[in-house]
């Protein structure tokens, strides 16, 4: 099916008052999801969740005010899907950083309403000659997005070939915060990490993470829940995950954000990426006929 044809998409996958496909900014097709629990928007390019907020709550995902929406360009904010590698490709410098999944089209497989009133959409990456040139391994990747009081994402890689495959992946989520300088991230205490700001040197996290400068770290062996405590918004975002052994914490700070050109003025102050990943030595081998599932559940808890 032509994934960009919103009339056809609505005929097959629209749910009255709940899931509506429309032409979004920059010619991107988006699914608008609204139910009694939450609202969200998802671009078919990249199966990219751009916004999510439980009803009555301010946005939980940060979407840059200066985000650029264009075919083939990753959107700055929301939940980019990094797959089938994380960061630069190990051998081919010309291949896109964080893989190609976030910049190619995905198709809608299913939309459904769950018993609790949440809405679930399932997407599958569309393979093309261009994707096969970069990833010549028979495989299938799907993303299940469940929009409710929590936002649940399940990125499943199936190995449909006869050889094992090795994947890196990440849900590269940008979270909205009132002021990064006052935010505390818990759950990474004592984890070893690779400090990309210090030539990739290995360190160990002591105490909770706070950010006051450019920060780019891959925490290894980190499977515990992460908590983003934001006294300004009086809330704590809980990140619970399965099938993810790495956690990437990233904030570009002033100079890098300015160079990137799609952060907006002072945008870096209102975001932090806490990415549920399998990166560096935590990459995953998927056996022939097997599958790997990277799952996250994001929820909001009130602080006194
Ligand atoms: C993070 C990486 O995951 O993503 C950073 O650790 C990188 O090194 C950042 O700068 C943003 O990447 P991109 O490709 O979306 O600009």
Radius of gyration of the chain (CA): 18
216 C-alpha to ligand 1 centroid (Å): 8
Which residues, judged by CB distance below 6 Å to any ligand atom, belong to the binding site of ligand 1?
74, 97-98, 172, 196, 216, 248, 250, 275
| Confidence tier at 122 by pLDDT (50, 70, 90) | very high
275 is catalytic: yes
Q: pLDDT tens digit string along 155-169?
A: 999 999 999 999 999
Check 48, 98, 176, 275 and give the catalytic one: 275
pLDDT tens digit sequence for 149-203: 999 999 999 999 999 999 999 999 999 999 999 999 999 999 999 999 999 999 9
The confidence band for 2, taking pLDDT boundaries of 50, 70 and 90, is very low
Q: What is the pTM of this model?
A: 0.98
Q: Relative to the CA of 97, which ligand 1 atom is closest?
A: 14
Walk me through the domains of the chain, giving residue ranges and CATH numbers. Answer: 6-302 (2.70.98.10)
Instruction: Enumerate long-range contacts of 194-201, CB under 8 Å, 24 or more apart.
Output: 194/218, 194/220, 194/280
Q: Could you read off the pLDDT of 265-303 as tens digits, one per residue?
A: 999 999 999 999 999 999 999 999 999 999 999 999 999
Which atom of ligand 1 is nearest to 98's Cα?
14
Query: What is the average pLDDT score of the chain?
Result: 97
CA of 253 to the centre of ligand 1 (A): 12
Q: Which of 48, 172, 229, 292 is catalytic?
A: 172
For 54-109, what is each residue's pLDDT tens digit?
Answer: 999 999 999 999 999 999 999 999 999 999 999 999 999 999 999 999 999 999 99
Whether 4 has a pLDDT exceeding 70, the answer reads no
């Amino acid at each position: 099916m032509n994934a960009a044809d919103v009339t056809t998409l609505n005929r097959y996958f629209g749910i009255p008052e709940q899931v509506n496909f429309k032409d979004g900014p920059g010619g991107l097709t988006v699914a608008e999801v609204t139910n009694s629990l939450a609202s969200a928007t998802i671009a078919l390019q990249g199966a990219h969740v751009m916004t999510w907020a439980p009803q009555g709550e301010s946005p939980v995902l940060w979407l840059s005010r200066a985000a650029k929406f264009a075919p083939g360009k990753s959107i700055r904010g929301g939940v980019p899907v990094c797959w089938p590698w994380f960061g630069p490709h190990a051998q081919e410098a010309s291949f896109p950083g964080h893989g190609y999944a976030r910049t190619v089209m995905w198709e809608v497989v299913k939309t459904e309403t769950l018993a609790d009133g949440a809405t679930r959409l399932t997407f599958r990456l569309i393979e093309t000659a261009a994707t096969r040139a970069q990833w010549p391994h028979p495989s299938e990747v799907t993303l299940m997005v469940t929009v409710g009081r929590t936002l649940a994402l399940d990125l499943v890689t199936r190995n449909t070939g006869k050889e094992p495959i090795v994947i890196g992946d990440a849900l590269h989520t940008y979270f909205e915060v009132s002021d990064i300088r006052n935010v505390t991230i818990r759950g990474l205490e004592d984890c070893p990490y690779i400090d990309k700001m210090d030539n990739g040197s290995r360190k160990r996290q002591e105490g909770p993470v706070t950010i006051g400068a450019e920060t780019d770290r891959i925490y290894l062996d980190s499977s515990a829940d992460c908590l983003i405590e934001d006294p300004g918004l009086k809330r704590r975002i809980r990140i619970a995950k399965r099938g993810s052994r790495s956690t990437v914490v990233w904030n570009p700070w002033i100079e890098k954000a300015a160079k990137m050109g799609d952060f907006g003025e002072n945008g870096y102050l209102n975001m932090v990426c806490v990415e549920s990943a399998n990166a560096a030595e935590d990459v995953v081998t998927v056996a022939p006929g097997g599958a790997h599932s990277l799952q996250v559940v994001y929820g909001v808890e009130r602080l006194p």
